[in-house]
Each structure stands twice: as C-alpha cells, then as structure tokens.
Amino acid sequence: MVQPRDSKRARLLPGTTLDALDNDLLIQCASYLDAGGLAQLGRTSARFGIRQACQQRSLVNEAAHQRFGQSATDEERACLSNYGDESDVGLYRALELLRRPLCFDELAGNGFGPREHPASVTCSGHGGYSTAMSGHVMRGGMHFVEFTVTNHEQDGHFIHLGVIRPVSLTKGIDLNTDWGGVVNPVPVSSRYQSPISAKLISQRTAKWGDSNVHCCTYYCHDGRCSWTDWDNDVTASDWEGREWLGGSSGTVGLLLDLNQGTLSVFKNGRQLGVMKDGFGGEYCWFATVASFYTISMSRGRAPN
C-alpha cells in the first residue's frame, strides 16, 4: 500500500535546512547521482563537499565510496587500484568510464574524414600518417580491445595499432610546424623530431611508473613490434608468433595485462602470443593509419 506523503512533505516545508537532516538520508539521496553530479554537488554545497570533524569522508565521497563498494566487480577493482591522492568520487568516475564503450577522443592529422560513430575513423590514405587516440586511461588489471580493420583499396596495411601514454598529440604541438602534417608518434625520438620528443616527454607524470615503454604497436603491414621511449630511436623487433594481418580486412585483438606487464596479439580471433613485455603505469589505445582504411574499436574479452 502506498503511504500518504503529506506528513513527510510537512517536515520539509520552508524553515527546514540541510543541517536538520540525517547524514545517512543525505548520503542515500546523493547516491542516485552519477560521479559528475556528485562532484557538482560537492562544489555547490559545503554540507556535502566538506568533511566534518566527525566524518571519515565528505558526504559526496561517502556516497561514491558506497556505490563503488556495492557495484564494482573483482575484475573492475583490479583495473582501478586507488591512487593515493584520488578521491572516492574520482575513483567512482573511473569505474563509470571503464564501463563505457571505447571511442576515439583525439584525432590528429589531415587524413581522417567525417565520422559516423565515435569508435570508428576512416583514413583517406593521403598526406601520410594520422593518429586516433582513445581517452580512456588503463592503469591496472587486464584490458582487451578488438580493432576491426576494413580495407577500401588494395594497398599495403600501413597501420599501427597499440598502446600509448595518456598524452595529447595536439596540445602545444602544432600539426604543421611540429608534425609537418604527418602525425605518427611511433618513430619519434630525440634524434628524429626532437621538438615533438621533448613535448611528449614533458607530459610525463608519476603515474607512468618506471617503465620506459611509452608507445608500442603491432604493425599490420609485417606483424613487427615497434616500441619507443621517445628518447632513443624506435625499436622494430621480431617476436614469436609474429604474423602480418594479411587479406583485405580483418580483426586485431590486443590484450594489455598490467599485472604481468605484457601486450598480446590476436588475429581474427586467434591468439598469436605475447608481443612485448615491460609495461607499467598508464596507457591508452590508439591507431596510426596511412592507408585508405576504416578502423573501429570495441572493448571485450580475449578469446580463449
């Protein structure tokens, strides 16, 4: 039976303040907000945003802490180890982002045409390499992405698919003056494109950790592994299980295991093996393309 609400409304008539309401009730109300709403509430209301002497957390952080504890799976927790300076709202925001579909958040270069979907880019193949980066930052656990590669003409697979530090390729880096219109972070070093090298390395944070693998790709043209620290020259190496993509189209799956520090490759659903080790810290997915191809990406689980 629905209970009359008039008496409850009466208690909240003018004259009632937030100070008169119980913390547990306020936390329950706040828990209906997403992370962005919680952050906004904390900024606009001192009662919610500032931790009181008797509280372990502010009310918005307590609401985020409870939501995270109630909903995050063990697999998600492994991907989201809490940084020492991260708020509970920030951690809950990271959980929301982990659950969203991947998309290409930054496009750099002259080769990309109009997009119909944020998780897909089409490169014209003219003007050299262009790069598309996901904005989702991976910082722990295991992450699998599948790139669907669609060929629009019979030419080489001039495509790099891999991981890169969470940097901006365009902020403070001019497309023409610095990149020369060709945006490819793979071969950048202090000897080759030294201004870009310095600008990329300057974006380093403590969250990159100790690993010197800042950019690593599977090169679809010949299956080689290319990786760099943006200081020394890029290393293009063979690896056990190496195969080129082959055919006009196909799928490339990448499994980044930040527990073991490895990047494994899957071609058309078949595991080729571990391509590179030594990973640590934060990374994003990206694609660098210089052929007339469409590249789409999606988050998933690695095939057995």
Taking only the tens place, the pLDDT of each residue in 84-105 is 889 999 999 999 999 999 999 9
Q: Residue 5: its pLDDT value, please?
A: 44
Q: Is the pLDDT of residue 154 over 70?
A: no
| pTM summary value | 0.89
> Cα 193 to chain center, whole Å?
26
Q: Residue 164: its pLDDT value, please?
A: 98
Q: Which helix (H) or strand (E) holds 134?
A: strand 130-134
Residue 90, SS3 per DSSP: helix
Q: Residue 174: its pLDDT value, please?
A: 95
Helix axes 35-44, 59-71, angle to 10 degrees: 170
Please report the domains of the chain, with CATH numbers, ordered by start residue: 15-99 (no CATH), 104-300 (2.60.120.920)
Q: Residue 13: its pLDDT value, please?
A: 46
Q: Tell me how far apart the alpha carbons of residues 153 and 109 are, in angstroms, rounded to a whole number.
A: 20
Q: Out of 112-126, 144-158, 277-291, give the one with best mean pLDDT.
A: 277-291
- Angstrom distances, CA of residue 110 to CA of 79, 122, 132, 134: 34, 11, 11, 18
pLDDT range class, residue 21, cuts 50, 70, 90: low
Mean pLDDT of the chain: 90
pLDDT range class, residue 18, cuts 50, 70, 90: low
Question: Are the C-beta atoms of residues 51 and 57 closer than 8 Å to each other?
Answer: yes
Taking only the tens place, the pLDDT of each residue in 51-92 is 877 777 899 999 999 999 999 999 999 999 878 889 999 999
